[in-house]
Amino acid sequence: MNMNIQDPQAHRMAQELAELTGQSLTDAVKMALQQALAKLKTSKPDPQPLPLVDRLNEIALRCAALPDYDNRSADEILGYDKHGLPS
């Protein structure tokens, strides 16, 4: 069975891999594919990642549970006086 690599960059990378490993082009491509498949088979991706809103809610809950070390109001932190003017 023949395989024709049409993408010039893919072909250059395959040739470089063959040169660096001292293998034939076929063996280098075969080795790279075997390694990529083994890596994909051993990694366990999250079957169903949580929607963004759920992930953000989890983050918000964790942040809300943190202790408040600064009991100043937001205006005091930003530097506004009781009239809403910069102090």
Interval 18-54: pLDDT, tens: 999 999 999 999 999 999 999 888 887 767 888 999 9
pTM listed for this prediction: 0.48
Q: Considering the domain boundaries, does residue 15 fall inside one?
A: yes
Q: Considering the domain boundaries, does residue 76 fall inside one?
A: no
Q: Considering the domain boundaries, does residue 54 fall inside one?
A: no
| Residues pairing with 80 in the sheet | 86
Q: Considering the domain boundaries, does residue 74 fall inside one?
A: no
Interval 60-76: pLDDT, tens: 999 999 998 898 888 88
Q: Structurally, how many domains does the chain consist of? A: 1
Q: What is the domain range of residue 16?
A: 8-42
Q: Considering the domain boundaries, does residue 25 fall inside one?
A: yes
Cβ 25 vs Cβ 14: under 8 Å: yes
Q: What does the H/E/C string look like for 41-69? A: HHCCCCCCCCCHHHHHHHHHHHHHCCCCC
Cβ 86 vs Cβ 80: under 8 Å: yes
Q: Please give the biggest Cα pair distance in the chain.
A: 81
Distance between CA 29 and CA 72 in Å, rounded? Answer: 63
